[in-house]
Each structure stands twice: as structure tokens, then as C-alpha cells.
Amino acid sequence: MTISLSDAGKRFNYDWIFRHVHYTFTNGNRYAIVGPNGSGKSTLLQALSGYSWLSEGTLLATDALGKSIPDDQLFKHISIAAPYLEVIEEMTLLEFWQFQEKFHPYLPGLTPDTICHRLDLSTAREKQIRYFSSGMKQRVKLGQAFFSSKPTILLDEPCTNLDAEGIELYHGLIEEYASDKLLVICSNDEQEIRTCTERIDIRDYK
């Protein structure tokens, strides 16, 4: 999958968050979007996901065969994990993965049980997510992104609330499940973006 931005810009009221972005994100590569807090990193990521419409310019997404993906179908090709996205806390963890599977097919060989094990959450599989710690919930969010069969993964501050073991798990997920995908990470934390080969500084587009 490829996502291309041409003269892209986003504003809220009269304030431009970014402007004149010309950039192409290609499958199999890892990108970091960096910049100070509040500079618009998350806004750019949301534009890439189709969650937020551009104020100017264009976004063109194509699949592996080079076929254009309509804007209103972009969500079918992208998985995203971010602090502002919630999980269904009334479900147990196992129920949640069973529910997810109906709408977002997993990578081959993965089942709700194997996912619980891979996230080191097997002992909590029958527990309602509302009773999880913040770090456990973050593992669930990462699982949503990495275990999906969708070709693109977008991550916003992926190590939020993770301890040392959780951060190690995060890097293991990247190496195991994202090697052949398009990966874009928003962060200022070097440990979150250390595997990224390309970096986009949002301050270059003000």
C-alpha cells in the first residue's frame, strides 16, 4: 500500500496545523513523525488514516496492485493505535478479540486465544477490560493494530503507560508483525521510533 500527500494542509478555524506537505509513504518502510508537543503530529497521522479530512491538497492511497482506494474506504486498509482511541471495556478480553475478529480479520494463524498469549495477558482473558491497568489496556490497543491483516499500521505514542516489559513487547511486535507493512509512528520518544528509517519533522510544514 502507498499513501501520497500532495500540497496537503490542515487548519482549525484560521490556524494552520501544517501546510504544503508533499510526501509519499510506501509499503515495507517505517516512518516517524516528530515535533514538539502540540505541533500537529497527531493531526497529520489522523489525516493519513482518513479520520480527519484535509483542508487543502490531496491524499491518494493505492493498494498493492496500484489500484486507487476511495477516501471513504481507506479505513478498511489501515489499523491504528492511539491514546485517544478506546476499547470496549464492558467486554472480557476474550470476548473483545472474538468481537474484533468479526469485523477486522487477523493475520493467518492468529486466534483470540493466541493473541491473549502473545500479549502476555492470558491470565486476564476472562476479565472485563474495565478492570485492566492502563498498561494492560495499551497492550490491547497495540494488539488491535499489529494483529490485523490490514497492510498499514499507524501508531500515536505507542509506549504510553507501558513498563519495561511492555516496551520490549512493543518492539517484538514490530519485528514480528510489521516487517512487510507500511508503519508510521508519531512520537518524540527515541525508544518508540528507533527502528524508523525515515523521519518527518512537522515543523518543516508550518
Q: Where are the domains of the chain?
A: 2-205
Query: pLDDT (tens digit, 9 = 90+) per residue, 123-161?
Result: 999 999 999 999 999 999 999 999 999 999 999 999 999
d(CA 28, CA 180): 5
Among residues 203, 183, 182, 205, which one has the least CA distance to residue 194? 183
d(CA 156, CA 37): 12
- Judge whether 187 and 193 are in contact, CB under 8 Å: yes
d(CA 75, CA 152): 10
Q: Does the pLDDT value for residue 11 go beyond 90?
A: yes
Strands 68-69 and 56-62: antiparallel
* Residue 65: band (very low, low, confident or very high) from pLDDT cuts 50, 70, 90: very high
Q: Does the pLDDT value for residue 103 go beyond 90?
A: no
Question: Which position has the grid cell 511486535?
Answer: 173
Strand blocks (E) in 55-166: 56-62, 68-69, 78-81, 152-156
Backbone angles phi, psi at 14, to 5 degrees: -105, 5
Q: Does the pLDDT value for residue 104 go beyond 90?
A: no
Best CATH choice for the domain 2-205 from the list 3.40.50.170, 3.40.50.970, 2.40.30.10, 3.40.50.300: 3.40.50.300
d(CA 9, CA 143): 31
pLDDT at 32: 98
